[in-house]
Structure 1
Amino acid sequence: MTSTYYAPQGGQPGQDQLLTDRAVFTNAYAVIPKGTMRDIVTSFLPFWSQTRLWVLSRPLSGFAETFSQYIMEVQHGGGSDNPETDPRAETVLFVVEGTATLEVNGAIYELTPGGYAYLPAGRKWRLHNQHPQTLRFHWIRKAYEAVSGLDAPDVLILNENDIVPTPMAGTDGKWATTRFVDPSDMRHDMHVTIVTFEPGAVIPFLETHVMEHGLYVLEGKAVYRLNSDWVEVEAGDYMWLRAFCPQACYAGGPGQFRYLLYKDVNRHMTL
């Protein structure tokens, strides 16, 4: 299946390339451009075969606090029967290229581009690439914050192409969010959504809020205001935004600007 989502391919830049790029790392936000996702910065994980990954964020003093996010690259025949070694970790998977064969609760699912899976903490699952095309997917992990009196969330297997986006009020549908989880479901302590802007659409004020963000640009380009700076971003770039970091954007066109968004939600502030 052909994908419209950007995914890194690796490789190495030539010796004649300029060193200057758009990478930014501050105590309020970070921009990791697609050009930094080369062979030399890949990582590997225990119990995964024929697989490498780019780590986009991880819990770190002065950086991400609530989650980690990877772009996984699995070759034909690769995968894992023991992918998650932390029983506290809940998982969201989002496929951008290829086909993932996911086994959970004794059921087998084929996740194609746009495929989304939510896997509760402590749930056993397996994932393999049984198809010729290289598999690339986002893997977002968070230590689940259980609340007495609330059940744990259920497994969810969805595809964004089957979900009608929810338009932002007053925007004539030019700014919309594809939601995989009902926002009123208090069992969930994180949301992963897809945000879409039509060309020229904007976030018309500096959002400043408690949610930490990870944003991976799936398609298009935009100019983003982060804290006191304007930065240009395009498909394949990643942004981390600390809680309360002011943020706004203009979608640059000529096509849609779309990104995969993480945020932590629905829990008391840790004291």
Structure 2
Amino acid sequence: MTYYVPRGGLPPQTDLTTDRAVFTEAYAVLPRRTMSDITTSLLPHWDATRLWVLARPLSGFAETFSQYVVEVAPGGGSNRPEGDKRAEGVLFVVDGEISLELFGSTHVLVAGSYAYLAPGASWTIRNRSEATATFHWIRKAYQAVDGIEPPPSFVTHESQVDAVEMPDTNGDWATQRFADPSDIRHDMHVNIVTFQPGGAITFPETHVMEHGLYVLEGKAVYLLNTDWVEVQEGDFMWLRAFCPQACYAGGPGPFRYLLYKDVNRHASLWRHP
């Protein structure tokens, strides 16, 4: 599999300013060109690392998650990566090689590797290779439920997760689910969705789940609220709850994206649970 990897830099002074970037009351689109050197951030207790913040909890918009693209130089990483013991996370590697120490066990993560990090997990991460490593990091405040234990941390690889075809689509729309959808312990899913050229969501999905969609490969035309928007690999779509959405995959190759959604919990009746 191939995955788009941002490299930073700055557009030349001769480029036009006009772009596809948009922020509305229902959705935002961050085209890949927005991931330049001047939009990177640093994190406490991380060495030789920079990141692009794609999403963060925002009142009145999407409030359940944050998502980063993290670039770690050789020798970089962190012995104190997560400062919030309530936070769970998913790492998905798109480039290079990075070592994850999880509860004393070492996992060498490469492109396509996926790690679920349970709330309170003991982990460190370090780039011990000679090339830059890049991964997505999705974080959520875990919603504990009385009488239900949180799910355990685990590490897998995309190649070990079968793509499940959506009914009546002849394989044109399929989803790789890294966590069992029936496992009520999980309150978020981070999956890979794939459309073959010409594949489509043929109805406007309108639902309570918030979404982060990072395009790993290909291009499509996406319905976001009332707008049809062209997107390509490297673009990020950020959708608040109940934003209507649908798509047509444009070809010539597959259209694939990393998808976040919140699941399996009551809607909170309190603004600050």
TM bucket (normalised to shorter chain) is: over 0.9
Kindly state the Cα deviation for residue 64 of structure 1 after the two structures are TM-superposed: 2.4
- Aligned residue for 1:39? 37
Contact preservation (8 Å) 2:55, 2:67: yes
- Aligned residue for 2:217? 219
Kindly state the Cα deviation for residue 63 of structure 1 after the two structures are TM-superposed: 3.0
Rounded Cα–Cα distance in structure 2 between residues aligned with 1:115 and 1:244: 31
Amino acid paired to 2:251 = G
Please tell me whether residue 136 in structure 1 is matched to residue 134 in structure 2: yes
* Secondary structure of 2:94's aligned partner: strand
- Aligned residue for 1:95? 93
Correspondent of 1:120 among 118, 121, 131: 118
Amino acid paired to 1:258 = R
**C-alpha offsets along residues 210-268 of structure 1, whole Å, 9 cap, x if unaligned?**
10000000000000000000000000000001110000000000000000000000000
Structure 2 residue ranges without an equivalent (≥5)? none
Kindly state the Cα deviation for residue 205 of structure 1 after the two structures are TM-superposed: 0.3
- Aligned residue for 1:18? 16
**C-alpha offsets along residues 164-204 of structure 1, whole Å, 9 cap, x if unaligned?**
10100001111000010000000000000000000000001
Rounded Cα–Cα distance in structure 1 between residues aligned with 2:61 and 2:72: 27
Correspondent of 1:259 among 237, 251, 257: 257
* Secondary structure of 1:161's aligned partner: helix
Q: TM-score scaled to structure 1, two decimals?
A: 0.98
Residues 206-245 of structure 1 mapped to structure 2, 5 A cutoff: 206-245=204-243
Residues 67-78 of structure 1 mapped to structure 2, 5 A cutoff: 67-78=65-76
Rounded Cα–Cα distance in structure 2 between residues aligned with 1:208 and 1:190: 18
Amino acid paired to 1:57 = A
Structure 1 residue ranges without an equivalent (≥5)? none
- Aligned residue for 1:104? 102
**C-alpha offsets along residues 100-152 of structure 1, whole Å, 9 cap, x if unaligned?**
10001110001111100001111110001011121000000000000011111
* Secondary structure of 2:41's aligned partner: coil
Correspondent of 1:249 among 214, 224, 247: 247
Q: TM-score scaled to structure 2, two decimals?
A: 0.97
Amino acid paired to 2:62 = A
* Secondary structure of 2:38's aligned partner: helix
**C-alpha offsets along residues 62-105 of structure 1, whole Å, 9 cap, x if unaligned?**
33200000000000000000000011110100000011100011
Say what the alpha-carbon RMSD is for the aligned residues: 0.7
Aligned residues: 269
